[in-house]
Structure 1
Amino acid sequence: MLLIDNYDIAIKHKPDLAEAYMNKGVALRKLGQHQEAIKKFNLAIKYQPGFAEAYMNKGDTLKQLGQREKAIKNFELAIKYNPGLIAPYISNVLKKLEMQ
């Protein structure tokens, strides 16, 4: 929980710091707190609308929750905003989702 506390401190000092919300979301997802993680990814996207990594992590979380269509939409947005960085990863995930 120390890591999450550090993100809370960062958010307290800079409430619009998208990276802090995204990283907190990743930490929450690792703890199994998927709904809270999605809320943090949404805040990251709110403060940085083209934040591809936030869309990618939100998609991963939705995939873990079995929300396939929502996951695909978020992966597509991640590709739209940063195709070079994460397209290979997301293409692989999309193929796996389409096979299900």
Structure 2
Amino acid sequence: MTVELTFVSADGSIHRRSGTVGESLMRAAVRTGVRGILAECGGIAACATCHCYVEPPWDQRLEPRSDMEDAMLEAALEPTEFSRLSCQISLSPALDGLVVRLPVDQI
């Protein structure tokens, strides 16, 4: 099963992609060529180069951040309450239509 995803670049351009249920948001972004999700650590929550901002109300549909994710987000540039590591977001049917914004520092 697939879910529809929208990535909004720092310059405002919109990139619509599809992800597979069970896949991480980061993997879907890398697989479909989304610029701005660098994923330097390969998805093990060790670098924060897959940092994104989850648009409300989608943020309410996600599992809470783990302590490890919180620690890594402290290293991200300009984190907000909506910051997440895309490698820690597992796609599910409840996330069909998910909208995330990409930070300017990852272009």
TM-score w.r.t. length of structure 2: 0.29
User: More helix per residue: 1 or 2?
Assistant: 1
User: More strand per residue: 1 or 2?
Assistant: 2
User: Which structure is higher in RCO with an 8 Å CA cutoff and minimum separation 6?
Assistant: 2
